[in-house]
Structure 1
Amino acid sequence: MAEIQNWFLWALLSAVFAALTAIFAKLGLDGVDSDLATLVRTVIIFVVLACFLSATGKWRNPFELPVRTWWFLILSGLATGASWLCYFRSLKIGEAYKVAPVDKLSVVLVVLFAVAFLNERPSLREWLGIFLVGAGVLILAIRR
């Protein structure tokens, strides 16, 4: 299989799957504790990724990774877990069409964190886009 190198295509696919995640999760949370649902989802992700790595020959001993990599992956995993727990709780009590856009406020936060910690410098046009995303979230979140 030829490796697809287009970041935009992968990001677009991520958005499609994230959208499906919200819909499927909302349907699956009926009568189920959101934390238990998050655990089930996590186990499924673990199994699917383990199978994918094995099938594609990408398996590597994770204990051979550098210590610095381990620390940042641990922090990322903790942040992901916290995000998923909050997201599923929000989906359990809120409407998916309201929850998902507020969750995407993470887009604005990623830019701010990237500027602060990674020394990334968006252009004026990119800042405008980020501002519009933030404004869109506020418009959806503020009640009339």
Structure 2
Amino acid sequence: MKKGIIYAVLSYLTWGFLPLYWRLFTAMPAWEILAHRIVWSFVFVAVLITVSKQWQQLKSVVASRRGLTAVVLCSILISSNWFLFIWAVNNNHVIETSLGYYMNPLISVLFAVVFLKERLSPGQWLSIVLAGIGVLIMAVQYGQIPWVAISLAISFALYGLAKKIAKLDVLLGLTGETIAALPAALAYMIYIQSHGTGIFTSLPPFSIVLLLLSGAATAMPLFWFAKSMQLLPLSLVGFIQYIAPTTSLLLAIFLFNEPFSQKELISFSFIWIALIIYSFVTFRKSKVAVLPVRQVDVQ
């Protein structure tokens, strides 16, 4: 439980600060950034796979129909999520991305109950209702259907569910996902460079280095996220995710100067109250469940 929480916090805290990273590449179209993100992520995980000598194991994973389907599905879901996030950040919609990732835990919990048959206590249900009220206030305040937020929430919740069901090795699964998206990313990069529309070669050296590091910036939080999915219930991982949108929301308000009204502050308060209640109830349940086991060990 403790290791899983550490992995989850690391992944979501990193994702919360990613708007700062992608804002460095506002001159590049979102599709080009996504292509580079996929390519350099592959390079990073390929090095890890080579060092750990797991290429043969990766072949056995994709050799089965179930494994290949899981890898391709996860690749499509996370690539779609990446593109929407990059586009939104570089088009001054950071608060809407924050809304999307506030909505995501609710959808993750719903998937956990419906597909994984996880059971929630009355206190956990109360926290979901409070968080739902907070998200609803944010959506109404937004003034229209927040399609970016909804798409981000659903795509990442489906990605988390697919990872949970597939039960693939963390590094092998992540490598398979990047390989599945690699041909399209390389083809796009070659196309734009051959037509003279690519921005990469015109970037200053420092920006090029930062873009090359996007592989590590992408793969490491995904690795931590996948590890947390192995060690924690999907419903708990969903609520720890509030770290990321809260961090992004604070960046949007205090650094990017996006407007933040009193109604949004109220919804923010509802969500954090929900998080406090859910965390308290969940840890209390896990502590009670572990106690009898420890007593038996002592006897």
- TM-score, with structure 2 as normaliser: 0.42
Q: Give the one of 10, 35, 41 matched to 1:45.
A: 41
Q: Percent identity, aligned pairs only?
A: 23
- Alignment CA distance shift 1:58-1:121 (3 Å): farther
For residues 34-81 of structure 1, what are the alpha-carbon distances to aligned partners after superposition, in whole Å with 9 as ceiling and x for unaligned? 1111111122222222222333x1623322113212212211111111
Name the CA shift for 1:81/1:114 in 2 (closer, same or farther; >3 Å). Answer: same
- 8 A contact 1:108–1:130 mirrored in 2: yes
Query: Contact 1:38/1:84 (CA < 8 Å) preserved in 2?
Result: yes
2:212 match: none
- TM-superposed CA distance for 1:108, in Å, is 1.3
Instruction: Give, in whole Å, the separation in 2 of the partners of 1:60 and 1:130.
Output: 42
Choose which of 1, 7, 16 in structure 2 pairs with 1:10: 7
Q: Which residue of 2 aligns with 1:86?
A: 84
Question: Quick one: which amino acid aligns to residue 38 of structure 1?
Answer: L
Aligned: 1:69 with 2:67: yes
User: 1:133 & 1:47 partners in 2: Cα distance?
Assistant: 39
Q: Deviations over 1:76-125 (max 9, x none)?
A: 11111111122222222234244224234221111112222222222222
Residue of structure 2 in register with 1:59 after alignment? 54
- Name the TM-score, length of structure 1 as normaliser: 0.79
Bigger share in helix: 2
Unaligned runs of 5+ in 2: 143-262, 264-299
The gaps in structure 1 that reach 5 residues or longer are: none
1:5 and 1:69 map into 2 onto residues whose CA distance is 29
CA contact (8 A) 1:23 1:96 kept: no
Q: Deviations over 1:11-43 (max 9, x none)?
A: 000111111223212x13412111111111122
Larger Rg: 2
Q: Does 1:28 align with 2:63?
A: no
Partner of 2:26: helix, strand, or coil?
coil
Structure 2 counterpart SS, 1:6: helix
Q: Distance in 1 between matches of 2:122 and 2:49?
A: 40
- Mean CA deviation greater in 131-140 or 28-37: 131-140
Further displaced range: 63-72 or 132-141: 132-141
SS at match of 2:76: helix
Q: Does the residue aligned with 2:55 lie in a helix, a strand or coil?
A: coil
In structure 1, the partner of 2:101 is 103
Matching residue's letter, 1:71: T
Alpha-carbon separation, structure 1, partners of 2:69 and 2:101: 25
- Counterparts of 1:5 and 1:136 in 2: how far apart (Å)? 28
Question: Aligned residue pairs: how many?
Answer: 139
